[in-house]
Each structure stands twice: as structure tokens, then as C-alpha cells.
Amino acid sequence: MMKMVKVTLKDGSVREVEPGTTLAGLAAAISRGLAKAALAGRVNEEEKDLSFPLTEDAAVEIITGDSPEGLAVLRHSASHLMAQAVQNLFPGTKLGIGPAIANGFYYDFDSEHIFVPEDLAAIEAEMKRLTKEGQAYVRKELNRADALTWFAGRGEPYKIELIQDLPEGVAISTYTQGEFTDLCAGPHVPATSAVKVFRLMNVAGAYWRGSEKNKMLQRIYGTAFVKAAELEEYLLKLEEAKRRDHRKLGQELDLFSLHEEGPGFPFFHPKGMVLRNELENFWRLEHRKRGYQEISTPIILNRELWERSGHWDHYQDNMYFTKIDDEDYCVKPMSCPGGMIIYKTKLRSYRDLPIRAGELGLVHRHELSGALHGLLRVRNFTQDDAHIYMLPSQINEEIIGVIDFIDYFYKVFGFAYHVELSTRPEDSMGADEVWETATQALREALEAKGIQYKLNPGDGAFYGPKIDFHLRDCLDRTWQCGTIQLDFQMPEKFDLTYIGDDGQKHRPVMIHRVIYGSIERFIALLIEHYAGAFPTWLAPVQARLLPISERHHEYAGEIAALLREWDIRVEVDERREKISYKIREAQTEKIPFALIIGDQEAETGTVSVRRYGQSDAGEKLSAEEFRRLAAREIKEKTRA
């Protein structure tokens, strides 16, 4: 009698199928709707094609396009389809890599033809033609020698390099649709007909394997969705993102500028400094409330310090260097080592711990010129770094305290977020058991708070695992900002000690953490999140007085003086322009309050208050009434 294969589904139910039943067959047996929506499957946590046969008992999940995993499979398949179209239209093009990424996919090409935006329409048309043919994605496994021979015969040097870099014993597979074959681990959708909704977005340059030492390839970006409505929504969000672009708004609102004289080194203008200072003032206030002490450490420190910390071995490519008195010095890429020097300036007792030390430290990191992007990716930035030195018994409490602190900050600004736990990377230092202890401590803190988190294997810092906070903005984009890193390594490297209750020296444990991430990057996110219309407490100009004619200038000046005494940031627009023009200008500059002054207001000692975004002037208020209104919004950090 044939032994049936037991399949445990995601909901815990168990089905029996004949040996050799494919994932597609299983989906069809469950329901017609699931069979139609299925794109791939997961067998014992490994993603597989729908053609994969079930030969032994397994936990199985059918992957559909309404899941992140299904969308990634669809987009990866779309990248292969695009590569096929490119080689059809531009023979001789050599293939780099073509992965699915957040919001889409890309493929890197080495071609004598220089791709221009006009080429994208032709490539899209060829992709649509291939889609209609419904070519199957067929997997084939090869040994190393056969794989090298196959791609050598087709003149694909980049594929050969990838194969040569694979560890011995790793299964090598290709996927073929029609006459196109690519090196790929998969999985893929069953056929090109499943890739129906896509759009090619733009062309960019990209160094092969991300190294500027390698050849510059041409990268074509695209996106794909299951439904046309989803693509339309995504394209609308992209248009909105262009409108909110912090580089555009930063210039229009006179906040900052970027110049060829210092690529990657931003210049902050007076209004930008107001915004920056408000963020820093808020940071200082909230840190004082929670027992942090502020410190400052030098920007340039001796090479020996960075060798001791491990940065010289693990971070050297991202650092700047100089010589002083014929000795090597480094411009700091982070503030940790300097903070530890301060810790060592005196003997510490267990009664002193935890010590919470915060620094708004200017750091410099070498970024490739092609990676620079406004304030989001710069070469110098102010990191709101803090270090907590603590007893091993205080780890859980301190981590939870930082989690609560970060949560409070992000709620003030209106950011939702998700959390990732990043574990030991390949390029790391320290013993396995120390890493496991640190990782477990972070995991226990997250579970104690009831926070759901995603595991991000291998993405920890070289000295310890970390919890990363990824902000979600109003366009559903995510940005990694806050982080909590638990470190047993640096206290060892720097011989940090405290005197315990037994009178002996012991080693403290460290937390490295940031909340903003960097002031510059956070400002970029705020500009785009608020579309430049900052809440009153952050706005560089909180109110602008708009006298209707010159005879109202004196009264406007009196009101402005009062508001300045009350610490409200105010301007007076005394230009000889029509009041309608002045109002439009205030709206364009996204000033929270426009205060209109005419004969009636001057006679009654009031101002007509018009909020940003309102089409009509609001109520008339006295200067004192407006002060109370603005002061309440500033104190409560009200968001519009």
C-alpha cells in the first residue's frame, strides 16, 4: 500500500497527499482560489517553486502575492523577465545580478549600449510580449564544472565569478524561460504570464558587487505588483514623495544647502539651525529627565585608540585620516572610544552604576560619492550617541528603559515603527558564548515589553548584537534610525572596571544607543514626513505678521515685540505687496500662523489668525490670547 505524505499547513491542520504531489497540486487540492493566487511555497522553512514535489512529511505554506514573500518572488521573476528582454533587444549585453528589493527589483547590465530613459518603454514592451507567451520558469541543478562551462560558453564573466565564489558543496541552479537562462537560487513564479503588472522606473550606475574598484555597470530599476490598482497607488505615492523631497523643500524653505566645495558635507542656514536647535534642545531636556549626563569628546584621536577599539580592523574603509606631529590620527566615525576614555578618568564603584552618558557628537564617515543623497546619506553628521555603563544585573532594566525612551520620542513626532533584532555578523570579534548572552538579553527585553520583532541574522555591529527601530513615514516608507547595541567587547578592550560590593574589580557591560540616529537624517525624514509644514514647536518661523498697509506697521511691530518677549519666533512682512500676495507667501513657506493686521485689528488690539492650510482667516484674538494658543501648542508639541 502506498505510504501517503503528511503535510502540516500553516493553520496546524494536516493533509495527506500522494508522494510526488507538487506544491501547485497541493494548492489546487486545498481550494481553486488558492491555486490561482499561489506563486511559490515554503517547505520546512525553505522557499520552493510550485513545481517542487513533496516526497516526505513536511510543514508547508503556500505563498501568494498578497504576502511580502510572494511579492518578492514575483519581483525576482520580473527581474529575470527584464534581463531576457534586454538581451533580446541589445544582443551582447552581459548579466550582473538582478534581485528583488524593497518596493521593486533591479538588474545590473554590462552593455556597450548606454541605456537612456527612452529605452525603458521598448524594454517594457518586450517584457509584455514575453509575458503573453507564458514561458515557464524551469529550474535545473548543475555541478560546479558544468555551471562554469555553461556560462563560459555564453560569455557571462560575472556569472562565472559568482559561481567561483560559492562555497564547495553548495547546490548550483539555473532558471530558464524560453531561450533565456540565468544563474539563480530561486524560487520563481511558474511562468512569465504571472508577471502582468510592472513598470520600469529609472537607470543608474552601480559598481559591480558594490566596490568602486570594479567596473561601473548600468542598473535598471523596476517594480511589479499583483494588481494594477496597487501599481497605480505606488506611482501616486512616488509622485507625492517627489513633492515632499527634502532636498527640494530644504532649498525652498531656506533650511540647508549642498555644494560642490564639500560633497556630502551639508551647510545649515539660519532657519535650518532653528529646526536643528529645537531638536537638540528637546533631546537634552528629555535626557536630563532620565538621568543622562552630557559629555563631549574630540573629533580627532590617535590611531592607537581606534586599533584598540577594533575600528581600525573592522571599519577602516569608512574612516578619514590625518597626521599630527608625524603620528597617525583618525577623524572619529563614532563617539564610543572617546566616551570610554572619560569613563576611565576615575575609579568607579558599583554604587555609581548605571552611568548614562550622552553626546551630540559630530562624526565623519567616508561614503562613496554615488551613495550621497541630500541629508539622508552624508559624510559628516551629528549622532545623538549615548552609552550606558551598568552591572550585569541591570541589563534588562536598562534595555527596557531605552526602548521606552525611543518609543516616547517617536510618538512625539508621529512616527510608527517596527523592530528588528540583528545578530552576530561574519566580521565580528568576541567569543560565541558572549554573543549568545548579549543576544538573549536583547531578546528577553523585547519579549518582556511584548514587542513583536523581525530577526535580522548577521546584521549586528562587529562588537555586539542590536535592536534596530525602523520608522514608517506617511508614505509607508521605512527608515532605520534608533538602535540599541549591547556590548561586552569594548569594556574588555578598554579595560573598563568598577569596584564591586566585594571590594574586587569587575567588568561593566555597555549599551550603545541612538534615538534620532543622526540629526541630519532625522531632519530629512521630518521634512518629508511633514512635507515641510512643521508643527508649531519645530517651525523656524512660528508666526508672521501681515500688516495690510504701511499705517499698520507700527502696531505690527508692537505685537511682534510682545511675541518675541514671550519666546515666539515671529517675522513682520512689511513689503509693499497686496495682502493676498503676503498670505500666499506665508502659505508657501508653510508658516503655522499668519496674523493679519488691518484697521479693525489695530483699533481693537487684536490680530486675525489664519492657520497654515486654512482658506479663510480664523477668529480675532488679542496678543495675549494668541500667546496662550501658541504656547499651548509649543508646550504640548501638537501636530497639525
**Joined grid coordinates for residue 143:** 555541478
**Is residue 500 pLDDT above 80, yes or no?**
yes
Tell me the β-bridge partners of 610.
594
Is 48 known to be catalytic?
A: no
Q: Are residues 45 and 135 in the same domain?
A: no
- Of 385, 473, 487, 573, the catalytic one is 385
| Non-local CB neighbours of 388 within 8 Å, separated by 6+ positions | 354, 355, 356, 357, 398, 402, 510, 511, 513
Task: Identify the domain boundary among 480, 503, 530.
Answer: 530
Q: Are residues 139 and 284 in the same domain?
A: no
| pLDDT classification of 2: cutoffs 50, 70, 90 | low
Is 377 known to be catalytic?
A: no
- Of 387, 521, 529, 627, the catalytic one is 387
pLDDT digits (tens, 9 = 90+) for 567-626: 999 999 999 999 999 999 999 999 999 999 999 999 999 999 999 988 777 789 999 999
The per-residue pLDDT for 432 is 83
pLDDT digits (tens, 9 = 90+) for 519-542: 999 999 999 999 999 999 999 999
The per-residue pLDDT for 617 is 72
- Looking at the structure of the chain, the number of domains it has is 4
Strand segments (E) across 515-629: 543-547, 570-572, 593-597, 606-611, 620-622
Q: What is the mean pLDDT of residues 296-312?
A: 91
Is 336 known to be catalytic?
A: yes
The per-residue pLDDT for 634 is 94
Q: What is the mean pLDDT of residues 54-75?
A: 93
**Is residue 407 pLDDT above 60, yes or no?**
yes
| Among the listed residues 402, 386, 398, the one whose alpha carbon sits nearest the alpha carbon of residue 295 | 386
- Domain membership flag for residue 319: no
| pLDDT classification of 456: cutoffs 50, 70, 90 | confident
pLDDT digits (tens, 9 = 90+) for 110-126: 999 999 989 999 999 99
The per-residue pLDDT for 317 is 86
Of 244-248, 312-316, 436-440, least confident by mean pLDDT is 312-316
Q: Are residues 347 and 455 in the same domain?
A: yes
Domain with residue 138: its CATH number is: 3.30.980.10
- Domain membership flag for residue 324: no
Of 73-87, 131-145, 218-232, 429-443, least confident by mean pLDDT is 429-443
Distance between CA 614 and CA 78 in Å, rounded?
45
Name residue, grid cell 547595541. 485
Q: What is the mean pLDDT of residues 27-36?
A: 92
Q: For the packed helices 157-165 and 144-153, what is the interaxial angle rounded to 10 degrees? A: 170
The per-residue pLDDT for 619 is 87
- Of 87, 139, 184, 336, the catalytic one is 336
Instruction: Find the Cα–Cα–Cα–Cα dihedral 83, 89, 91, 92, rounded to 10°.
Output: -50
Domain with residue 489: its CATH number is: 3.30.930.10
Is 76 known to be catalytic?
A: no
- Of 383, 394, 485, 542, the catalytic one is 383
Q: Exposed, middle or buried, 18 (CB in 10 Å: 0-12/13-18/19+)?
A: exposed
Task: Confirm if 510 and 547 have CB atoms less than 8 A apart.
Answer: no
Tell me the β-bridge partners of 17.
5
| pLDDT classification of 81: cutoffs 50, 70, 90 | very high
The per-residue pLDDT for 11 is 87
The per-residue pLDDT for 640 is 65
Q: Are residues 419 and 374 in the same domain?
A: yes
Q: What percent of the chain has pLDDT over 70?
A: 100
| Among the listed residues 69, 72, 107, 56, the one whose alpha carbon sits nearest the alpha carbon of residue 86 | 107
Average pLDDT over the chain, rounded to whole?
Answer: 93
Q: Are residues 420 and 506 in the same domain?
A: yes
The model's pTM:
0.81
- Domain membership flag for residue 442: yes
- Domain membership flag for residue 535: no
- Of 365, 544, 552, 610, the catalytic one is 365
**Is residue 1 pLDDT above 70, yes or no?**
no
- Of 512, 513, 529, 552, the catalytic one is 512
**Is residue 386 pLDDT above 60, yes or no?**
yes
Phi-psi region of 306 (alpha: psi -120 to 50; beta: other; left: phi over 0): alpha
Domain with residue 552: its CATH number is: 3.40.50.800
Is 290 known to be catalytic?
A: no
Q: What is the mean pLDDT of residues 277-282?
A: 97
Q: Are residues 272 and 418 in the same domain?
A: yes
Q: Are residues 548 and 521 in the same domain?
A: no
**In 199-329, where does DSSP find H-type helix?**
228-244, 246-252, 270-289, 303-309, 311-314
Task: Identify the domain boundary among 34, 64, 94.
Answer: 64
Q: Are residues 179 and 222 in the same domain?
A: yes
Tell me the β-bridge partners of 197.
225
pLDDT digits (tens, 9 = 90+) for 351-367: 999 999 999 999 999 98
Q: What is the mean pLDDT of residues 240-267?
A: 94
Q: Are residues 511 and 591 in the same domain?
A: no
- Domain membership flag for residue 246: no
- Per-state percent for the chain, helix, strand, coil, to nearest 5: 40, 30, 30
Task: Identify the domain boundary among 45, 64, 83.
Answer: 64
Distance between CA 18 and CA 352 in Å, rounded?
67
Q: Are residues 440 and 340 in the same domain?
A: yes
- Domain membership flag for residue 320: no
Which range marks the domain in which residue 573 is found?
Answer: 543-636
Q: Are residues 620 and 564 in the same domain?
A: yes
The per-residue pLDDT for 267 is 97
Q: Are residues 12 and 104 in the same domain?
A: no
Q: What is the mean pLDDT of residues 183-208?
A: 95
